[in-house]
Structure 1
Amino acid sequence: MTTPDEPIVVGIDGSEDAVHAANWAVGEANHRGAALLLVIVNDDPARASHAESAVHKAAAKCRAMAPHLAVDVEIAKGRPVEELLRHSRKAQLMVLGGRGHGGFADALLGGVSSAVATHSSCPVVVVRRGVPTTVGPVAVGVDGSESSSAALRFAFEEAQRAGAELLVMEVWHEGDLLAGPLPPDERDRVQQDVEQSLAEQVSALHEQFPDVRTRQLAQRGHPVAALTDAGRDAQLLVVGHRGRGGFDGVFLGSVAAGVLHHAPCPVAVVRSSDDTAT
């Protein structure tokens, strides 16, 4: 379990994506009252000066955005995924760029971001390059699994910190339930079941976050497409690491991976305590 005094860790690799992610992390650190730790991983002595320059340049931009914010830097040696995962054990949040293509293009590629998001001990936010919106709702996909329950709690916390509306979505796909299309009456029944499941999941947390305005959306469709579409108007899209609930296959890791690759807004991937223990 993370604590308030643990930092937000940002992976830096010299790319514009990583700098953009660090800028996003400044706003998150302000909301959380947390310190920032910018980490660059370098295993080539010949690039040591470039690594130091890249991480300090990113830190200077963060300090310029928020002079009161505590910003530290670290140059780590080793493999990027291993080092970032090691730092995730002592972080309350990790923030990464969508892909790296700067001076250290091999250090923080999209594949590394995905690997860290899959195995991190803390929630991971992947920020794609472009200007992420700071308005609009926090959106979260749920399916009743332990992983999505952790994602839902994280989304409530984020919405409360940002003073934003929370859009809670449960997307079902009939191909995941039966071999063939459902007849209309069965489709209506499944829709009602999903709506009830969604209401129960939201109700379980709403009393703890009474000030968060929520909107619920249960719909038939493909989870990646539906969540990506919701991300067009969202300031943050939250997904669980994998699904193990009543609708197996609706929210598997492949869906989280698809959202990471296609969502136009920052994406948070949250693992349950059971996942992080494995």
Structure 2
Amino acid sequence: MSELVVVGVDGSPSGFDAVAWAADDAFRAGAALRIVSVVETWPYQVPQIAAVEWESSMTERAREILAKAQEIAGERRPTVEVSTRVMTGKASVALREQAAEAAELVVGRRGAGGFAGAVLGSVSMSVAGQAPGPVVVVRDGDAAAHDEVVVGVDGSPACEPALDYAFRQAELRGGNLRAVHAWPLPFALAPDFSCDIEALRESHLRVTREQLTPWQERHPDVRVIADVQCGHPVKTLVAAGDRAGLLVLGSQGRSGLGAFVLGSVMRGVLHHARCTVAVVRERP
């Protein structure tokens, strides 16, 4: 994998926040930074509009956005190698293509064309759910005040790419890694249903520690906290993110019903988290 961080920018404040975050992360990793602006001409491809004029005007605007973004990155991290690129097409598709070339793709939480009051932009959600590798959705105005990295785990193999990314991030930041395993109470299927809550917790804790052990051996300098809680995964992860600089999720969970549930968890966390979130999808 190339040592390259790609960040998408569209002229919105959220996009420029993403540039600052990406510059910091490229600096920590010793990676180059590529800033991309996508010119979307497809909404204007109708007979009544001169498409060539629209495309020329939007391309010039994209270059202006890139110049400002490059200035932000240069002022923040002068030693990071920065390049820019204008692309044409659908933003979500173009950014997914860029993700295939990069160590990570960084986007802002809300774009310039979103609905007022929307928490998460459609492009951000699309690339986070479909792009290969890590996709970082930067919280608006994120100053990364906390060094702790939180990662959601459930004992499934699908968590492994997220653990790989989370351990590397914690190592680069010199902070703790908190592995959060949240499990809801089982449904009461009969009037006399009962269970040993402490025994269940110990079982979940054992699964979590078994999954973490190989990664701890590869990253001995990272202090790991196994945080096993009985509660709703979205609420638990969002609360853990309040004291973290980064919250990391896998894009899929256990097979069958679990995969559906974790998909809903990913969407819920992306919408409600008050910190920057990285969604890590396994590369082909």
Give the TM-score normalised by structure 2: 0.87
Aligned position for 1:218: 228
CA contact (8 A) 1:80 1:112 kept: yes
Tell me how far 1:251 sits from its aligned partner.
5.4
Runs of 4+ displaced beyond 3 Å: 177-186
Equivalent AA in structure 2 for residue 66 of structure 1:
R
Find the partner of 1:253 among 253, 258, 263.
Answer: 263
Aligned position for 1:66: 77
Q: Residues 185 and 154 of structure 1: is their aligned pair in 2 closer, same or farther, counting only changes over 3 Å?
A: same
Structure 1 or 2, whichever has the larger Rg, is 2
CA contact (8 A) 1:143 1:251 kept: no
Look up the SS of the partner of 2:258 in the other structure: coil
Give the TM-score normalised by structure 1: 0.89
Aligned position for 1:112: 123
Find the partner of 2:214 among 204, 213, 234.
Answer: 204
1:1-278 alignment runs, 5 A limit: 2-4=1-3, 7-44=4-41, 45=55, 46-101=57-112, 110-175=121-186, 185-244=195-254, 248=258, 252-272=262-282, 276-277=283-284
Q: Residues 12 and 89 of structure 1: is their aligned pair in 2 closer, same or farther, counting only changes over 3 Å?
A: same
Tell me how far 1:134 sits from its aligned partner.
3.2
Look up the SS of the partner of 1:264 in the other structure: coil
Q: Residues 181 and 136 of structure 1: is their aligned pair in 2 closer, same or farther, counting only changes over 3 Å?
A: farther
Tell me how far 1:183 sits from its aligned partner.
5.3
CA contact (8 A) 1:171 1:250 kept: no
RMSD over aligned Cα, in angstroms? 2.2
Stretches of structure 1 that go unaligned for 5 or more consecutive residues are none
User: What is the aligned length?
Assistant: 266
CA contact (8 A) 2:114 2:121 kept: no
Stretches of structure 2 that go unaligned for 5 or more consecutive residues are 42-54
Look up the SS of the partner of 1:252 in the other structure: helix
1:33-72: per-residue Cα shift (whole Å, max 9, x none)?
Answer: 0111111110341322211101111111101111111111
CA contact (8 A) 2:62 2:86 kept: yes
